[in-house]
Structure 1
């Protein structure tokens, strides 16, 4: 793999940093925002969840734009939207305009989560695709950690407006840097621009790479896809449906398991059970640091361990950690002597979740959909992520209010158990497979955990014979 391929993935991953920072900064800023605007808990949920509503819109609408104008130009437009949203939110004179500005930011967040993993996956060689796409998730973790450090270290000295405005700086970097990166070769081939696709591929492959062989495989897959229904209607075709179930189901569970609730509301939750403000914000920094470390660990091992296996090994630990945390809350064990156990359960949950299911969430969406419907599929994937996140974030404080902190943790523990059953039943192992192999497996009805690993795609046999 070439250094320029790593550079392209790292540059595109700045969008992941913006995703993490712009969604995570609300955890530290919400305390100050609530005080300045005298927000009740329902309006706190609106301000926090506004970015998720926008992200749902951005995820749904970006696929058609990406297909029409290309992956690279779409990401350039997204970077501009990140900049405008951060500036507008930082200048908002009241909570309503702040929420509306965060909707604009959310559109950029949702659009980036749809387009960037797909862009990197279409550039990357199959054997390194997992690590390169997971770099997006690592960047999300870095953004969340940066937001947590700003919220903890500067909440007494830095206005929440400046905290939010700081997100404009990396957006400008992404906007400028994307002009130097190549367009997706697969998108170029789909547009009938094979020479341009070859030039783009040459920039991210070693000098001795078989470019024509790879392009032939892409061309063959596109020729097959051309006989299929494109766009959103294509997602309803029988042979595509297993990819939609696996992709969107995994996407939904990455949010419903409760990890974003911890990122957004951990300080508010901990203050509600007796933690001081400083301790709550410091714990939030620890949560963000673990998220970053574990997603980085996932990046290092996902192409060796595999997507499915990594999730199945870690989800039981996440469920048990939340079950234990719920028991502590129900029993009232939240005093100073019990704080290490409360924090320990939170941290263990983040270890198992951030190192497992969260690693594969965006990766799976970038891998499972055939080229003809990939933009629509990744749009559906992103919309599912953000719709689930919106549902979770918009109800978290109300759930805690009605069931208590302990009852809410048990609900999320149950959802982690359901996520385990879903992955076990519906998600095949995708490590080492090219995007064209995945599409061929779908066409042959081998996209199941039982059959996919043993399938020998026709195009691989033909190329081996040639």
Structure 2
């Protein structure tokens, strides 16, 4: 069945669309936790500095330990998702979210905090690769872009919730001891929802088909597709599964195949590009950037809420754009916008005197940056990584790209305080701008266009060199 035919039949029965929406909402609580746990440190860190006696190095260590754990989690969950199933992996990650959050909330020392956030990072990294893969394999081709990007919407919603929660707790109870613990512990609630919700969700039909369970795969497809569309899609999935039936489970050996190696390298490049925009210097240290620019600490906490609101609104823009323009031009446009915003942050930091005026100007530039990052770059990054890899190695390859993404994130989180201390905000953001120019060249030259084609069509095109 063609995409056009599927569109025509999609309106005849709303039940599959409703059920697919339930699957999307419950699974993307993993994205919500990803967003909350990475952004909550923004407001909690100033209070941790006082309670735990953090130095610039240990401050970076506490922030970046989650990111290092995420790199490991991306690899482990990718392998687990290939071996045990996407749904099973997400259930395990939900349990780890609960345990890691509680350990961090009650951490008595810097060492325990770093260890707890490392464990929590394993869950964050796992969710970052497993949830988009699950959604991409559940979604029909013509809705895949919008459904997978719902996870990005939940990520920025989690970040917004963290900013709002930090602002309320900081301004109402900011003088109380251990106030940052309350900022962290809130994340246990969505973690429980994710765990309970995924217990009743189906497994990915493509993973089931890859294991020869075609009857189970068809049963799942009937729940999320029209009857004719389900039968036609199973035929396509079955052909791809039978072609790979005699091959070993995907892994490092597959990198010897030129077209697979090229895709994996492109995926790794996309992951690095997304992080070297410098987005997480703003996500993790936004409060401190604004404080050093001229805002009071409590004012900076409230001001960060605007960044969260902008991120959510920009993601709605990204969801709409994915339906009207291609992946590659969207990524190039986003990188051009983020690079421009970084240049402006550096310029204003250099040219304007310290005070509320400079802080307001930098806040505006941060908002502009987030429009392009969260509306263009981030949605396309996670979507492309869920689309470009062949089914047999999707978990492994996505996990590998995710690992590199989180290692790049780790390097930014760990070194940013030291870079600012050594070179100043201006030079630090100019460094990110230079990386942005290189990223634009990479995206324009190497990123493939995937819009409007099924995962099996894409695999066939990549295999034959037609992409």
TM category (shorter chain) comes to: over 0.9
1:161 aligned partner: 181
**Structure (1 or 2) with the greater helix fraction:** 2
1:171 aligns with 2:191: yes
Q: Aligned with 2:459: secondary structure?
A: helix
- Number of the residue aligned with 1:55: 70
Q: Which moved more, 1:135-144 or 1:409-418?
A: 409-418
From 411, 418, 427, give the equivalent of 1:391: 411
CA–CA distance in structure 2, aligned partners of residues 306 and 200 of structure 1 = 29
**Match of residue 79, structure 2, among 64, 68, 72:** 64
The match for 1:413 is 433
**CA positional deviation for 1:296:** 2.1
Instruction: Give the number of aligned pairs.
Output: 446
- Asked if residue 6 in structure 1 is aligned to residue 21 in structure 2, the reply is yes
Give the one of 368, 373, 377 matched to 1:353: 373
Name 2:3's counterpart in structure 1: none
- Whether contact under 8 Å (1:303, 1:432) holds in the other structure is no
Equivalence for 1:15: 30
RMSD across aligned positions (CA): 1.4
User: Paired residue for 1:141?
Assistant: 156
Taking the aligned partners of 1:393 and 1:317, their CA distance within structure 2 comes to: 22
**1:215 and 2:234 are equivalent in the alignment:** yes
Whether 1:243 aligns to 2:258 is no
Residue 425 (structure 1) aligned to one of 431, 445, 450? 445
Cross-structure match for 1:40: 55
Aligned equivalent of 2:41, options 26, 44, 56: 26
After superposition, the C-alpha distances for 1:126-151 in whole angstroms (9 at most, x for unaligned) are: 01001111111110000000001111
Equivalent residue of 1:239, what SS?
Answer: helix
Deviation at 1:385?
Answer: 1.4
For 1:52-451, what aligned pairs fall within 5 Å after superposition?
Answer: 52-158=67-173, 159-206=179-226, 208-226=227-245, 230-446=250-466
CA offset digits 1:235-264 (Å, max 9, x no partner):
342011221122111111111111111010
Q: SS at the partner of 1:210?
A: helix
**Does the Cα contact within 8 Å between 2:19 and 2:224 map onto a contact in 1?**
yes
Partner residue, 1:449: none
Distance of 1:334 and 1:296 partners within structure 2: 34
When normalised by structure 2's length, the TM-score is 0.93
Change (3 A) 1:210 1:339: closer
Distance in 1 between the 2:149 and 2:253 partners? 29
Structure 2 CA distance for partners of 1:236 and 1:357, relative to 1, 3 Å: farther
Contact 2:100-2:116 at 8 Å conserved across structures = yes
Cα distance, 1:222 vs structure 2: 1.9
Q: How does the TM-score come out when normalised to structure 1?
A: 0.93
Shift of 1:332: 4.2
Cα distance in structure 2, aligned partners of 1:160 and 1:9 = 31
SS at match of 1:308: helix
Give the deviation of 1:276 after TM superposition.
1.3
Give the Cα–Cα distance (whole angstroms) in 2 for the partners of residues 365 and 399 of structure 1: 30
Q: Which runs of 4+ in 1 moved over 6 A?
A: none
Contact 1:246 1:426 in 2 (8 A): yes
| Cα distance per residue 1:5-59 (max 9 Å; x no partner) | 1111111110000000011100010011111111111111011111101101101
Could you tell me which runs of 5 or more consecutive residues in structure 2 were left unpaired when the two chains were aligned. Answer: 1-9, 11-16, 174-178
Q: Higher mean Cα deviation, 105-114 or 308-317?
A: 308-317
User: 1:439, 1:253 → 2: CA distance?
Assistant: 23
The whole-number CA distance in structure 1 between the counterparts of 2:225 and 2:446 is 33
Give the match's secondary structure for 2:323: helix
> Is the Cα–Cα contact under 8 Å of residues 225 and 370 in structure 1 kept in the other structure?
no
Displacement of 1:273: 2.8
3-state SS, counterpart of residue 265 of structure 1:
helix
State the Cα deviation string for residues 350-383 of structure 1 (Å, max 9, x = none).
Answer: 1111111111111111100001111111111211
5+ residue gaps, structure 1: 447-451, 453-466
Aligned counterparts of 2:74 and 2:282: Cα–Cα separation in 1 = 23
| Structure 1: distance between partners of 2:342 and 2:451 | 29
Segment drifting more, 156-165 vs 62-71: 156-165
Secondary structure of the residue aligned to 1:154 is helix
Cα 1:352–1:407, aligned 2, differ >3 Å: closer, same or farther? same
* Equivalent-residue separation in structure 1 for 2:375 and 2:31 (angstroms): 17
